[in-house]
Amino acid sequence: MHRPTLLLAAASLSLASLHAAPHTLKFNFEQAKLYPGTTREITVHVPDAPAPDKGYPVMVFQDGVQYGAPGVFDKLIAEKKLPPIVGVFITPGRIPAPDKNSLDRFNRSYEYDNISDTYARFVAEEVLPEVALRAKVKLSDNPDDRGLGGQSSGGICAYNAAFQRPDLFRRVFCGIGTFVNIRGGDSLPKLVRLQEAKPVRVFLVDGSADQNIYAGDWWMANQMMERALVFSGYEVRHDWGDGGHEGKHAGRVFPEAVQWLWEGWPAGLRANPENKSKAPVAALLGDSPWEKVGEGYGFTEGPAVAPDGGIFFSDIPASKIHHLGSDGKLSVFAENTNRANGLMFGPDGRLYACASGAKQVTAYTADGKASVVAEGIEGNDLAVSAKGDIYVTEPSAKKVWLVRKDGAKQVVDEGISRPNGVLFTPDQSQLIVADSAGVYLWIFTVKPDGTLANKQKYHYLHIRDGLTSSSADGMTVDTEGRLYVATSYGIQFLDQAGRVNGMFSTPNDKVSNLVFGGPERDILYATCGDMVFKRRLKAKGVNSFEAPVLPPKPRL
pLDDT digits (tens, 9 = 90+) for 346-376: 999 999 999 999 999 999 999 999 999 999 9
Question: Which pLDDT score is estimated for 515?
Answer: 98
156 SS3 class:
helix
∠ CA 170-90-82, nearest 5°, is: 45
Q: Where are the beta strands (DSSP E) in 336-438?
A: 340-345, 351-355, 360-364, 370-375, 381-384, 390-394, 399-403, 409-414, 419-424, 430-435
Question: Which pLDDT score is estimated for 21?
Answer: 52
Question: Which pLDDT score is estimated for 466?
Answer: 84
Question: Which pLDDT score is estimated for 22?
Answer: 63
Residues in CB range of 214: below 8 A, 6 or more apart:
none
Hey, how many other C-beta atoms are within 10 angstroms of the C-beta on 4?
A: 13
Say how many residues make up the chain.
Answer: 556
Dist. CA 112–CA 104, nearest whole Å: 17
What DSSP designation does 549 have? Answer: -
pLDDT over threshold 60, residue 136: yes
Nearest to 439 by CA among 459, 416, 466: 459
Amino acid letter for position 37: G
pLDDT band (50, 70, 90) for residue 13: very low
- Lowest mean pLDDT: which of 138-152, 157-171, 218-232, 276-290? 276-290
Question: Which pLDDT score is estimated for 4?
Answer: 40
pLDDT digits (tens, 9 = 90+) for 177-235: 999 999 999 999 999 999 999 999 999 999 999 999 999 999 999 999 999 999 999 99
Q: 368: which strand partners?
A: none
Q: Against a cut of 0.75, is the pTM above it?
A: yes
pLDDT over threshold 70, residue 7: no
Contact 545, 330 (CB under 8 A): no
Q: 538: which strand partners?
A: none
Question: Which pLDDT score is estimated for 6?
Answer: 36
Nearest to 284 by CA among 507, 493, 514: 493
Nearest to 324 by CA among 346, 297, 348: 297
Strands 58-62 and 146-151: parallel
Question: Which pLDDT score is estimated for 553?
Answer: 86
**What secondary structure, in 3-state letters, does 417-438 show?**
CCEEEEEECCCCCEEEEEECCC
pLDDT band (50, 70, 90) for residue 75: very high
Dist. CA 128–CA 141, nearest whole Å: 9
pLDDT over threshold 90, residue 125: yes
pLDDT over threshold 60, residue 11: no
Nearest to 158 by CA among 96, 90, 208: 90
Contact 424, 406 (CB under 8 A): no
Q: 44: which strand partners?
A: 25, 88
pLDDT band (50, 70, 90) for residue 72: very high
pLDDT digits (tens, 9 = 90+) for 368-390: 999 999 999 999 999 999 999 99
pLDDT over threshold 60, residue 12: no
Average pLDDT, the chain: 94
Hey, how many other C-beta atoms are within 10 angstroms of the C-beta on 82?
A: 27
pLDDT over threshold 70, residue 16: no
pLDDT digits (tens, 9 = 90+) for 516-541: 999 999 999 999 999 999 999 999 99
Question: Which pLDDT score is estimated for 201?
Answer: 98
Strands 201-207 and 235-241: parallel
Dist. CA 234–CA 290, nearest whole Å: 21
pLDDT digits (tens, 9 = 90+) for 250-274: 999 999 999 999 999 999 999 999 8
Q: 241: which strand partners?
A: 207
The burial of 197, by beta-carbon neighbours within 10 Å (0-12 exposed, 13-18 middle, 19 or more buried), is given as: buried
pLDDT over threshold 70, residue 18: no
Contact 12, 266 (CB under 8 A): yes
pLDDT over threshold 70, residue 57: yes
pLDDT band (50, 70, 90) for residue 467: confident
Dist. CA 215–CA 182, nearest whole Å: 6
pLDDT band (50, 70, 90) for residue 437: very high
Contact 159, 189 (CB under 8 A): no
Can you tell me the mean pLDDT for 149-162? 98
Can you tell me the mean pLDDT for 426-454? 97
pLDDT band (50, 70, 90) for residue 171: very high
Dist. CA 361–CA 448, nearest whole Å: 23
